[in-house]
A and B are shown apart, each in its own frame.
Chain A
Amino acid sequence: MGALNSLPDEPQYVGLAEKTGFSFEQIGILHKRFKQLSNNGETLRREDFNTIPDLLCNPIRSEIIEAFFDRRNFRQTDAVGTVHEIGFGEFLLVMSHFRPPSIRLDDEQKEVIRMEKLRFLFNMHDTDNDGTITLEEYRHVVEELLSRSGALGKETAKGIADAAMLEVASISMGHMEPDEFYEGITFEHFNKLLKEFEVESRMNIRFMNMDTTTLCK
């Protein structure tokens, strides 16, 4: 394949391959894409994502873009906060959350992968990084999800978010005094809620089928 011959930064790729689990070939393809988006620059900024026309129609566009600049997704322990620009390494690290788990993994390793993917989803909701998805945060997501597509009004989406939150609170807290306050959905509870969701098999992109010829301009 032509892509293999045009890999300029092979030593760097070794490190990235180890960190992310991507093959050299996949890394090469994604690097090409990175250069396209960054206009051959070394770093990507949020504005660069606006050059992708299809992304503009996406209701949760801003959450997705933010995920690329969220240090919690850079696989560095306890890193928090956001950055203004990212290099290829970070780009690849964020992408790696969508790699399908290898079939050869045992249950424990699969569980690790599942937690990583779930954590990524959680981070997308918990924007202020206080460890909980608050009502306000959840409302925001639901609003974007449901009312941006035009099907529902803002108030309705808000109502649905409230109802969902109420559901979660009822299930996790059972009984609450009128003056008690439910802080929000913790990661632990988020995990429990989505236990049967099979995130490890659903939250994947088939990078293997990627081909340089199909990359859109």
Chain B
Amino acid sequence: MVLIRGLSPQFLDHLLTGIEDICGHYGHHHWKDKLNRFNKKYIKKCLIAGERSREPQLIAFYHKMEMKQAIELVESGGGIKLPPVVPSTVSMQNIQPKKPPPPVERALPQIPKGREDEIRKILRGNLQKTRQRLRSYNRHTLVADPFEDGWSDLLLKKSKMIELEKKITEMNNYLTVPAAPPDSPTITRARLSSDPQAYQRKQLSDSVPTIQVDLASPQSPDSLSLLDELQRADQRRELRRRPPPDEEEGGGLMMRPPQARGGDQGEEGGPSAKEQRLQRCLSDPGPSAEDDEDEPFLS
């Protein structure tokens, strides 16, 4: 409802201005429109110095962009409740007439690279910080603005997600796990341990052979926070991308593509045990945490 309602006044404004022009009647739409155009064209350029003369446009642009992204998020099942929109199964697939659904995660068309992307990033960075700083007494929260209510949380979370994703890719390059590919079992297990509720695995007995992983440097606070962030980010990522629960329940062992779960080969046997062990490891950084492991993977 939000978008259609938002666009309708604009449409109507232009329509009425057009009709006034056709009548030759200098009504208030005519003058309002003329003034706006004049303002945009000349005054702003003269009075506002340099690049800032383009700013208001960009802010409006930014808002529209974020709205669009928020809708995307809802559509992709972001797991964040949006008050006015009822979660539904309708997706881009249902409204696109001919093309098959695009294979990428984001179903809505991507904005082509270039200036718009740049602008968006810059704006998000700057405006998001401003928003966060001013949250305590932002005038938008003082006067109930239905447009921003609920959206702002969504937008913040979304932007955090994106930032974390960025961090992950950066951090993947700097992990100090020896001889480990980017998606090493370490990280995989970190993901697994972070998401016990998402993966409804049955409790298996400890007798099932497990492969334990010794974290390279569990004591260092850096790696701890790294894992923490990875876990949180991946948790969110998993929430967004995981398939419906039915698929997961089927038959125990499942191979997953590396991006989603990590290359676990037949290790799905004792995840709960692993989870416990890993979590213990995280909370208690003492080196003795791994002494009772059956088969230390890395010693």
Contact = CB atoms under 8 A, between A and B. Distances in A.
Interface of A: 30, 33, 36-37, 49, 52, 54-55, 57-61, 64, 95, 98, 121, 124, 134-136, 141-142, 145-146, 150-153, 155-156, 158-160, 162-171, 173-178, 180-182, 193-194, 197, 199, 202-207, 209-210, 214-216
Contact of A64 (B19, B33, B61, B72): B19
Contacts of B18: 55, 58, 60-61, 64
B3 A163 contact: yes
Contacts of A204: 16
B12 interface: yes
A58 B7 contact: no
B21 interface: yes
Given A145-B7, A166-B95, A177-B89, 13 more contacts: A33-B23, A61-B18, A146-B10, A155-B109, A166-B91, A167-B85, A169-B94, A174-B88, A175-B88, A182-B95, A203-B16, A205-B20, A206-B27
Majority DSSP secondary structure for residues of B touching A:
helix
Query: Which of B67, B72, B88 has the most A CB atoms < 10 Å from its CB?
Result: B88
B15 A155 contact: no
Contacts of B71: 163, 166-167
B5 interface: yes
Contacts of B19: 64, 95, 98, 205
Given A60-B15, A98-B19, A178 B68 contact: no
Contacts, number: 187
Interface residues of B, number: 59
A33 B110 CA distance: 47
B213 to A, nearest CB: 39
Nearest to B11: A145
Majority DSSP secondary structure for residues of A touching B:
helix
B62 to A, nearest CB: 10
16 contacts: A33-B24, A52-B21, A55-B22, A58-B17, A60-B11, A156-B68, A160-B7, A163-B3, A163-B72, A164-B4, A174-B86, A176-B91, A182-B90, A193-B5, A197-B5, A197-B8
Nearest to B110: A155
B14 interface: yes
A65 to B, nearest CB: 8
B92 interface: yes
A77 B234 CA distance: 60
Nearest to B23: A33
B93 interface: yes
A82 to B, nearest CB: 17
A98 B22 CA distance: 12
Nearest to A33: B24
B257 interface: no
B64 interface: yes
B97 A170 contact: no
Contacts of A54: 17, 21, 30, 33-34
A156 B75 contact: no
A160 B12 contact: no
B108 A162 contact: yes
A149 B55 CA distance: 15
Contacts of A209: 25, 27
Contact of B97 (A49, A155, A181, A199): A181
A30 B20 CA distance: 11
B111 interface: yes
Contacts of B86: 170-171, 174
Contacts of A61: 18
Interface in B99-124: 101, 108-112, 116
B24 A36 contact: yes
B26 A216 contact: yes
B25 A207 contact: yes
B267 to A, nearest CB: 33
A99 to B, nearest CB: 11
A93 to B, nearest CB: 13
